[in-house]
Each structure stands twice: as structure tokens, then as C-alpha cells.
Chain A
Amino acid sequence: MNTVRLRRGDYVVLLIAAVAAIGCCIRIWWPRAVGQTAVVVTPHGEQRYSLSQTATFTVEGNNGAMLSIEIDGGRVRVRDSSCPDQVCVHSGWLSKNGQTAACVPAGVSVRVIGGSQEIDGVTA
């Protein structure tokens, strides 16, 4: 069969990319503890909610986008959103320190913080 063969450089690129990706994962995601607080950032400001409650509320993003956020059983999720992509909704339930759901069109993000091991130093 007539195909372009893999070259040595391909393997070098794959190796470098894999090492960089894994290094990045370890740096940013590890270690992860169960979080206690949900931080909801909207264009109008930042709000913190304890994950120990059971609550559903609505926040407003850019261009009148509305996001329904649900907290239950130590977890938080974006239950529904009026945005087109629904990336935030598909992120599902978040419970661990550092887990994030973001709705870029609305300018809203939900992040879990406050486990026993704070990793905020990474983002600072």
C-alpha cells in the first residue's frame, strides 16, 4: 500500500507531548482531595457555597444566559444552562478539589475548592 511512513521524529513528538501532558496532569490535578466549597464565578461577581447543603439556584451570565446550579450530597453541578454548547452541563457532578465546570459563552465557572490539600498555589 502506498502511504507516508512514520518517521523517527513522529515518535519523538509523541514522546515529548506525552511527557508534557502527563507532567501537566500531575502538576495540576495531583493530589486531589474531596472539596468542601463551590466557587461560582459570574460576570457579576464571585459567590461561595458550602457543599454540605442541598440547594438549587439560578445565576445569570453574559447576554442574559441563565444557569441552574444544584448542590446535593457534597457535590455540585450545572443542572441546566441556556447556552448553546452545554459543555458546563456535560461536565456533570463535581466533588473533588479543583474540579471545574465552565460555560465560556456565559462567562460563568463553577469550581470546587477547600479539600485537605489546597492546591491553589498552582493557580496563583
Chain B
Amino acid sequence: MNAMFPTLAAILAVAITSPAFAADGAQLFVDKGCTACHGEDANTSLEPGYPRLAGQNADYMFNQMKDIKDGKRANGLAPDTMKPILEEVTEAEMRALADYVSGLTNPAMAAKPADGPGKKLYATKTCIACHGKDGKKPIMKTYPYLAGQDKLYAFNQMKDIKTGARTNGNTNAMKTVMHLVSDQELEAIAEYLSQAK
């Protein structure tokens, strides 16, 4: 028995960490219905206003799923579309989903950023400080990538953070600069971000 125990533990450790035993993100992404709105590649929005998710920071996505389920993120489409689905998703499954989706390729990461008025605003309105050059290098794992994001989704989130409709997570870090940006400028920034693809 004494000799047997370490072997058993080793087998179990392998079993628990292997994909077959852990929640399978790819399978969950289909089973939980995520593909319906976010696309099979997690990068094709059902319609304008839905976010592109492929390659997004895992910690950021995990926090958003949790906040939508808990009601802490209650702006825009989240309460009616995402929340009912997330009621049936456990935290372990959210983690698996976040890890899976963050591993998918966001084509905008390799694309040339767009020109236009939004490009300059992105720097002067200090977006660049947290989200990095061209929205491709957020400084925290809990901050989102922005490159290639759906234009309407990006605009709505910026606007909701500005007005206080979205208050979850780290949005308090962003709210303090939002008075610097008019709605028209938000649109230009959203256009700039969405065009890298």
C-alpha cells in the first residue's frame, strides 16, 4: 500500500489535469450556445453590437462572465442575452471557456492598424496607456485587447462606462478619463479599432 500510494497519486494528478477530466472549453463553447452569438471562431458577431472574443485575455473574459452572472455587469445586452445562459455555467466552466477562447486567433493582432481620426484620438485621449499600441497590448491581464473589436460593441461599452451604465471590474480606472472624449470622438475611436482586421 505504501509503495502503491505515490503511483496512484501520480495517475490521479495526470487524470485531473488532462483535458478529458477537466472541463473542455471547446466543447463547452458549443454546448453552452456561445457559438450562436459569437460565432464558431469566437470572432464572428451575430450582429453589430456583439463582441468578438477570439484571443481576448482569459482573466478579463472570466471576470466578465462572472460579473454578468452576478449582475455586476448589467449594461447593454448582457442582462437579457448572456445572463440567462450563464446561470447554467459554473465558475470552473467559465474558466475553461475563457482559457479556450483566449487561445483562439484574433486575426486583427497581425493586421495593419487603420488610419483615420480615431488613430490620433486613441493616443491623445490616453486609451493607449492601458490598452497598448493599436489596442494590442493591454497592460494588465484583466484589461481587454481592443484590436479588431466589433465597432458598435466597442462604442457602446465606451459610452456605457462614460455614463456609468457599466460599472463592473476595472471600469473605474477608465471612467476618470471618459469626460475627455465626446460621443463623436468615441465613434471615431471605435471605427479605428474595428478596422484592424
Q: Do A and B interact with each other, yes or no?
A: no
